[in-house]
Amino acid sequence: MTTPPPDPRHRRKLGKIGTSGNSSYYLTLPVDLVRRLGWRKGQRLVVRQRPDRPGLIVEDWQPPAKPDGGPNRVFPGKMTE
């Protein structure tokens, strides 16, 4: 018995940006998934490899907490160092 072909809506593309040694990769995601997660263009995300099995974990980036416990004054969409 053969496996049925995957639904075209679930096919995604892994691509490469740049040709020099410092290139990056991108992964296309279904727009309905991005909307359900509330992600926006330019939003910072953290990508980690799963420790227990093959796969990736993608989650919202959280700025580090200030040592004094006060607000960190980082606003969504603002790039700070």
What's the pLDDT score for residue 1? 61
Q: For 47, phi and psi rounded to 5 degrees? A: -115, 125
Q: Is the pLDDT of residue 63 over 70?
A: yes
Does residue 28 belong to any structural domain of this protein?
Answer: yes
Assigned domain for 45 exists: yes
Which range marks the domain in which residue 50 is found?
A: 10-60
Residue 76 domain flag: no
What pTM was computed for the model?
0.54
Total domain count for the chain? 1
Strand partners, 44: none
Length of the chain: 81
In a domain, residue 79? The reply is: no
What pLDDT is stored for residue 52 in this prediction?
Answer: 93
Q: Is the pLDDT of residue 49 over 90?
A: yes
| Residue 43 in domain | yes
pLDDT at 79: 54
